[in-house]
Amino acid sequence: DDLATTTTTTTTAAAATETTHTDDAAAAKGLSRQIAIKAGWLSFGTSFADEDVPTDFAPDDPEGEQIASLKESLGSDVFGALAGMTGLDQRPSSLSKDGAKEAQHVRVRGFKIDATTVSNEQFKKFVRDTKFETEAEKFRWSFVLEPLASAETIKQADGPNGLGRVGSSPWWLGVWGATWRKPEGPDSTVRGRANHPAVHISWNDATAYCAWAGRRLPTEREWELAARGGLEDEPFPWGADDHDLHARLNQWEGAYPEENLRKDGYVGTAPVDAYAPNGLGIYNMLGNVWEWCDGGTPDARPLRGGSYVDTVDGSHNHALRVSTRMDQSADSGGPNTGFRCAADLDDDASSSSRARQKKKKTSRAGATQSSTAEL
């Protein structure tokens, strides 16, 4: 079983060892198993321009009229979430539609990262234990993609008391009651999707879960090193091959947003362990859901990996690459935002060292007591 077996995979860029929970508290919380990744170098970011991807990924709006209109209709406090989900966010320093900046050759210290994103079942345990309320629950609404919404939810959104649609992206609905528990609105449920990623999660929500778990969010460099799966300077976790993509990741297939061919098996989210893992044993770091990372500022926290509304060829929204990224405000969240946890690699070693030191002190104290008694 997992507790009795340890596997090691050596790669060109990093070495990974699969680890599992060894303490009762972590097991009781149902945390994801983690992959330990040794220190290594990587090309962080996009080292090449995607010539096959259109470069006019941002709207032709030099005066910012579309942006101003959206802010006026929705308010600046929710614009960040909308911009990211609809592909309207501005990426002036990007080389391509993956949103990444020019590559740097960097070294990353050893760390551990969850093999999968946090699932609905795992997030439910956190909420039950802490009575935590997510940002979407506090706001009482979030965005829902129309093809995933029920006829009743669409009717309510379009009704006199509904939140309506985004003018320039009418497939995004403002839906009262859309939260991680009810991803597509009040008449939806996560029942039957326990192993799907928890969504409508903000950066603040993710960091609260990590603190409860005794873990943290990965940095962008850690995330990208893990996503590359041990490969160096390749666009995808499996290399450069762009064939049979339906068997590799969850992306949008078909004319967005009217049609999704479902060749990959899903229209919305897929299970956290769907498709084959990368060379380090890590699942779904491309597509499915955007993943929050540590860093940035309260107004611009990093998200990595893209989601099910994005495409590898960049024809719709972001181009899916291991370098794909964007920034959003810390309180933003949507039906395609989730996260996974990380931890320092030396945590276990430090704990063991402290335990050994404590044992030595206890032994010395016992020996002193014995000597005193003999006297």
pLDDT for residue 105: 86
**In angstroms, what is the C-alpha Rg of the chain?**
22
The type of residue at 39 is A
Here the tokens at position 284 are 């779904």
Centre a 10 Å sphere on the Cβ of residue 361 and count the other Cβ atoms it contains: 10
Closest CA to 148 of 48, 266, 35: 266
Question: Average pLDDT in the 26-50 region?
Answer: 83
Q: Which has more confidence, 369 or 121?
A: 121
Q: Phi-psi bin for 314: left (phi > 0), alpha (psi -120 to 50), beta?
A: left
Question: Average pLDDT in the 124-147 region?
Answer: 97
Sheet holding 342-344, edge to edge: 8-10, 15-19, 34-37, 111-114, 342-344
- Rounded to whole angstroms, the Cα distance separating 36 from 64 reads 45
- Rounded to whole angstroms, the Cα distance separating 284 from 97 reads 20
Q: Which has more confidence, 346 or 182?
A: 182
pLDDT greater than 80 at residue 257:
yes
**49 Cβ neighbours under 8 A, 6+ residues apart:** 95, 96
Centre a 10 Å sphere on the Cβ of residue 257 and count the other Cβ atoms it contains: 18
pLDDT digits (tens, 9 = 90+) for 138-158: 999 999 999 999 999 999 999
Q: Which has more confidence, 139 or 77?
A: 139
pLDDT for residue 44: 86
- Rounded to whole angstroms, the Cα distance separating 189 from 196 reads 12
Closest CA to 127 of 182, 180, 195, 184: 180
Closest CA to 238 of 287, 288, 276: 276
pLDDT digits (tens, 9 = 90+) for 176-187: 999 999 999 999
Closest CA to 120 of 314, 268, 3, 242: 268
Q: Look up the pTM and report it.
A: 0.78
- Mean predicted lDDT score pLDDT of the chain: 82
Strand partners, 106: 42
- Rounded to whole angstroms, the Cα distance separating 126 from 47 reads 39
